């Protein structure tokens, strides 16, 4: 019995070795790649992968498209079990948390050199989203930002110049007042304005997540920040934060250029139907508007309403190498080659067809963008900042969104709302810190 | 001793009963029948619960190299008013209880009413049965999106009709109370009432016609027939429907998530939503596991109490039990 078993084992081992040597002989490395581009962007990602496989006969990239939320649940378990993919994509809101918990491998200068990646090629704020404590972990592959869509017909009719309107808080407010019209043709800064019968709104400030993105942009423009230097305390209730939120609240309740209780769906529908002159949303919304018949619009960077600098909320996706139990040099090298290739300007240019922004200035200068509706925002891409950079982004962002919502719904004063938000964020940060060790 | 008995005795002596033999003589028989279910039950119910208890007693993170034991720390937090967990767990549990208290009577009463209606010999009743049941086949994401769009503050169908055709101010169904709750309850009712209806319908058809005929001979009114025949005979079904509906309502998740996002100010956030947030957004797995354990205990308690309370009312069933 035992000898028979031994013989069987020997046979199996021999067979495996033969097969394995066959693979080695072909000299082809197969790597696994997980990404969350499951929407209309999926075919473009698949085309890129096919092209890589075609041009790299020694590497085979096997890709799996997994919805983002599912992937965040699977990555930790896969890393712990030693079954993580060779390459994965992590978004700005989770990447630092995963880095701090030890899920991703550091991309050392040597590794970046192997991949042929020069980090100075990318927008600095975008690249830094994939870095933590001075070390690099992710290479940006996808970038989005908050922009302002505006109805060109309405702007023309009201005689408002977009560049002027976006240049300062006063100009933005003036433009919004001109663009808000009640059924008697009166504007909100005129006596007799009928708030209950507004025919056209200047803007619609939506809740809660999109509202958070707008607030965050204005907070940064004021020189404010989400968290302090070592990210252990939330600080978005600073005077800069209160001022930013007060302005948003005033646009609704004092200047009446936006209705209250706006949902994101509502703001989008209002803009599509031509009832609202401007719409704050992400660059990913552009195709919806392009497909809307009779809607003449253009895209601008969001207004500069803060006193200090110019900034806009953005999001991004980064290619990372999840930690392996035992690093297989060959596979890691192949993974780096893939990361290096897919983040090249040429590939990034192709990828922007999926609705993303250029990840590097050299791509933004490409001639093919000359007629793109997004072109006007390219100049400000260096000022795009994600809610990112510390391990407890979702805890802080969630508390911030809740605070912004309650103020924009008129439930709390901006100061009170932000103080409550910071208190909640701090408690959740304290909890999270205990888990990261 | 007749031949048959002797034969059996003989067989028993001759053939040793094997362990896996299904026969009366094998004392393991009942357990053998239970094995297929027991295996799945142990693997997919008992083991996960046990693992959940383990996670809740440790500071657990799958990526961490150590999983230190913290005892009841995460349970203690649920009793300490200064913690976020205390504040939100009980708040969202109360939200959920409110939803259960309002939605269950509607889901049971509505289902019974619909079942009585479509049980009558009306024309096209097959069509109506199908129509009331149909929304059940949708995933919660579809139901949530449809109702979010129908009830949207600005762009929703209802508000456009109110505003442009009836001249009524639009209602903030998504961001103001009590409208936000109304939206969620309406969506839930539309989605699941048909399922309960079908169960009631089956039960109604199981009531012998002769009872009603006898009652009619005695001159019973429609109400008398309902309250003395239909309702008592439906009570086992009602127990089933109430208990399953309470459990389903306790698990409120998708409707709140999609329609209101838990807002305004977490007022429609359900306890399951909060547990998910704590686990998968804040990555506080142990804290989430502890909450899930407490919620599980509360639900079990509810079920036992309900079963006791309602089982007493079951006319036929309980008396037939001969105890």
pLDDT tens digits for range B235-275: 889 989 998 999 999 999 999 999 999 989 899 999 999 99
CB A96 within 8 A of CB A131: no
Flag the least confident range among A311-315, B26-30, B273-277: B26-30
* Out of A96-110, A129-143, B298-312, least confident range: B298-312
Distance from CA of A8 to the nearest CA of B (A): 31
Residue B7 has pLDDT above 60, yes or no: no
From the list A209, A265, A434, the residue facing B148 with the nearest CB is A265
Q: Which long-range contacts (CB under 8 A, 24 or more apart) does B313-321 make?
A: B313/B235, B313/B239, B314/B235, B314/B236, B314/B239, B315/B232, B315/B233, B315/B235, B316/B232, B316/B233, B316/B235, B316/B236, B317/B235, B317/B236
Q: Supply A304's token pair.
A: 């500069």
- In this prediction, residue A203 carries a pLDDT of 97
> Is the confidence at residue B313, as pLDDT, over 70?
no
For an interface test with A, the pick among B85, B153, B176 (most A C-beta atoms closer than 10 Å) comes out as B153
Opening angle at CA A113, ends A72 and A101, nearest 5: 25
Q: What is the pLDDT of residue A371?
A: 87
Which H/E stretch holds residue A58?
none
Q: Which residue of B has its CA nearest to A102?
A: B63
Average pLDDT, chain B: 88
Handedness of CA B179, B184, B189, B190 (dihedral sign): positive
Residue B318 has pLDDT above 70, yes or no: no
* ipTM field: 0.85
Residues B266, A394: C-beta atoms closer than 8 Å? no
Minimum CA–CA partner of A196 in chain B: B169
Handedness of CA B116, B119, B121, B125 (dihedral sign): positive
Q: Which long-range contacts (CB under 8 A, 24 or more apart) does B165-170 make?
A: B169/A196
Residues in a beta bridge with A300: A148
Find the closest chain A residue to B149 by CA distance: A265
Residues of A whose CB is below 8 A from B283: 97, 101, 432, 435
pLDDT above 70 coverage of chain B, percent: 91
CA distance linking residue A131 with residue A128, whole number of Å: 5
> Could you say which of B62, B155, B265 has the minimum Cβ distance to residue A265?
B155
- Chain-chain contact of B152 with A431 (C-beta, under 8 angstroms): no
Question: Does residue A413 carry a pLDDT above 90?
Answer: yes
The model's confidence at residue A7, banded by pLDDT at 50, 70 and 90, is low
Which residues of chain A have a CB within 8 Å of the CB of B172? 261
**Interval A281-297 mean pLDDT:** 92
| Residue B227: pLDDT over 60 | yes
Percent of chain B with pLDDT over 90: 67
Set of chain B residues whose Cβ sits within 8 Å of the Cβ of A208: 261, 263
Cα R_g (chain A), whole angstroms = 25
Q: What is the pLDDT of residues A56-77, one digit of tens each?
A: 999 999 999 999 989 998 999 9
Please give the full DSSP string across A70-122, using - where no structure is assigned.
Answer: HHHHHHHHHHHTT---SEEEEETTTHHHHHHTT-B----HHHHHHHT--GGGS
Give the pLDDT band of residue B17 (cuts 50, 70, 90).
low
**Nearest alpha carbon to residue A103 among B266, B138, B206, B63:** B63
Mean pLDDT of A342-351: 94
Label residue B323 by pLDDT band (50, 70, 90). very low
Q: For A25-34, A200-209, B71-80, B154-163, which range has the lowest pLDDT when averaged over its residues?
A: A25-34
Interface test with B, best of A263, A264, A421 (most B CBs within 10 A): A263
CB contact under 8 A, A77 and B155: no
Phi and psi, residue A184, nearest 5°: -95, 10
Reply yes or no on whether the pLDDT at A24 is more than 50: no
pLDDT for the residue numbered B308? 85
Residues in a beta bridge with B6: none
Q: What is the mean pLDDT of the segment spanning B59-72?
A: 89
**pLDDT for position B2:** 52
- Would you state the pLDDT for residue B321? 44
Q: Which of A80, A207, A268 faces B175 most closely, judged by CB atoms? A: A207
- Average pLDDT of chain A is 91
And the tokens for A15? 């067979």
Task: Mutation target for A interface from B59, B63, B174, B253: give the one with most A CBs within 10 A.
Answer: B63
Number of neighbouring beta carbons within 10 Å of residue A206: 26
**A411/B154 Cβ within 8 A:** no
Residues 126-185 of B with CB under 8 A from A: 148-149, 152-156, 169, 172, 174-176
State residue A25's pLDDT score.
44
Q: What is the mean pLDDT of residues A241-249?
A: 97
pLDDT at site B65: 82
Cβ-defined contact of A411 to B265 (cutoff 8 Å) = yes
Which pLDDT score, from 0 to 100, does residue B18 have?
Answer: 72
**Rounded mean pLDDT of A156-174?**
95
* Contact status of B62 with chain A (Cβ, < 8 Å): yes
The verdict on a CB contact (< 8 Å) between B61 and A424 is no
Q: Is the pLDDT of residue A212 over 50?
A: yes
Q: Answer yes or no: do B283 and A411 touch at CB < 8 A.
A: no
What is the SS3 assignment for A317? strand
Residue of B nearest to A412 (CA): B265
List chain B residues with CB under 8 Å of A196: 169
CB–CB contact A394 B282 (8 Å): yes
Band of residue B120 on the pLDDT scale cut at 50, 70, 90: confident
Q: What is the pTM of this model?
A: 0.87
Percentage with pLDDT > 70 across chain A = 94
The whole-number pLDDT of residue B196 equals 95
Pick from A80, A265, A392 the residue to mutate for testing the B interface (most B CBs within 10 Å): A265
- Over 80: is that where the pLDDT of B159 sits? yes
């Amino acid at each position: 019995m035992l000898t028979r078993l031994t013989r069987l084992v020997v046979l199996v081992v021999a067979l495996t070795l033969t097969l394995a040597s066959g693979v080695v002989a072909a000299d082809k490395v197969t790597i696994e790649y997980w990404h969350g581009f499951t929407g209309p962007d999926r075919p473009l990602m698949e085309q890129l992968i096919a092209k890589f496989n075609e041009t790299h006969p020694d590497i085979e990239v096997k890709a799996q498209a997994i919805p983002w939320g599912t992937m965040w649940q699977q990555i930790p378990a896969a890393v712990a079990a030693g079954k993580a993919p060779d390459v994965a994509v992590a978004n700005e809101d989770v990447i630092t948390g995963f880095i701090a918990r030890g899920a991703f491998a550091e991309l050392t200068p040597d590794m970046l050199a192997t991949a042929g990646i020069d980090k100075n090629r990318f927008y600095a704020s975008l690249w830094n989203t994939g870095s933590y404590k001075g070390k690099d972990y992710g290479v940006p592959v996808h970038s989005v930002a908050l922009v302002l869509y505006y109805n060109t017909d309405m702007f023309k009719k009201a005689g408002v110049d977009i560049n002027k309107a976006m240049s300062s808080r006063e100009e933005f407010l003036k433009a919004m007042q001109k663009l808000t019209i009640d059924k008697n043709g009166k504007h909100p800064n005129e006596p007799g304005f009928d708030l209950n019968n507004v025919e056209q709104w200047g803007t619609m400030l939506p809740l809660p997540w999109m509202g958070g993105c707008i607030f965050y942009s204005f907070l940064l423009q004021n020189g404010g920040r989400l968290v302090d230097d070592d990210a252990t305390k939330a600080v978005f209730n600073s005077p800069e934060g209160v001022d930013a939120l007060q302005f948003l609240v005033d646009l609704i309740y004092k200047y009446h250029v936006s209705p209250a209780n706006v949902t994101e769906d509502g703001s989008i529908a209002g803009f599509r139907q031509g009832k609202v002159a401007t719409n704050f949303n992400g660059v990913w919304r552009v195709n919806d508007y392009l497909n809307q018949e009779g809607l003449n619009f253009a895209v601008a960077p969001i207004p500069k309403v803060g006193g200090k600098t110019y900034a806009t909320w953005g999001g991004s996706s980064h290619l990372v190498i999840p930690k392996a139990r035992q690093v297989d040099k060959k596979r890691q090298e192949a993974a780096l080659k893939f990361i290096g290739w897919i983040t090249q300007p040429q590939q990034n240019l192709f990828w922007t067809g999926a609705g993303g922004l250029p990840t590097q200035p050299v791509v933004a200068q490409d001639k093919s963008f000359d007629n793109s509706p997004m072109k006007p925002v390219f100049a400000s891409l260096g000022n795009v900042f994600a809610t990112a950079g510390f391990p407890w982004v979702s805890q802080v962002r969630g508390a911030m969104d809740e605070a912004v919502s309650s103020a924009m719904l008129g439930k709390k004063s901006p100061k009170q709302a932000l103080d409550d938000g910071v208190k909640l964020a701090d408690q959740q940060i304290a909890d999270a810190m205990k888990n990261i060790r | 001793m007749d031949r048959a008995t002797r034969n059996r005795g003989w067989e028993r002596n001759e053939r040793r009963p094997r362990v896996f033999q299904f026969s009366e003589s094998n004392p393991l028989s009942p357990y053998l029948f239970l094995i297929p279910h027991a295996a799945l039950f142990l693997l997919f119910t008992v083991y996960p619960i046990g693992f959940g208890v383990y996670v809740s007693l440790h500071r657990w993170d799958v990526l961490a190299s150590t999983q230190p034991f913290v005892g009841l720390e995460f349970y203690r937090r649920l009793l300490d008013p200064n913690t976020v967990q205390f504040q939100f767990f009980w708040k969202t549990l109360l939200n959920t209880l409110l939803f259960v208290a309002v939605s269950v009577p509607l889901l049971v009463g509505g289902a019974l009413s619909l079942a009585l209606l479509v049980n009558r010999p009306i024309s096209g009743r097959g069509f109506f049965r199908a129509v009331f049941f149909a929304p059940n086949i949708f995933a919660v994401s579809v139901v949530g999106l449809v109702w979010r769009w129908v009830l949207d503050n600005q762009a929703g169908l209802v508000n456009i009709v109110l505003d442009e055709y009836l001249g009524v101010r639009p209602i903030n169904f998504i961001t103001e109370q009590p409208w936000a709750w109304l939206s969620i309850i309406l969506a839930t009712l539309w989605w699941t009432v048909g399922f309960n209806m079908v169960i009631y319908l089956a039960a109604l058809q199981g009531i012998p016609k002769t009872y009603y005929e006898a009652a009619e001979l005695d001159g019973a009114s429609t109400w008398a027939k309902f309250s003395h025949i239909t309702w008592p005979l439906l009570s086992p079904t009602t127990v089933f429907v109430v208990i399953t509906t309470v459990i389903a309502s306790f698990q409120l998740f998708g409707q709140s998530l999609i329609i209101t996002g838990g807002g305004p100010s977490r007022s429609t956030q359900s306890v399951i939503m909060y547990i998910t947030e704590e686990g998968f957004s804040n990555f506080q797995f142990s804290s989430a596991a502890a909450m899930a354990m407490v919620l599980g205990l509360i639900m079990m308690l509810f079920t036992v109490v309900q079963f006791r309370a309602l089982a007493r009312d079951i006319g036929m069933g309980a008396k037939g039990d001969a105890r």
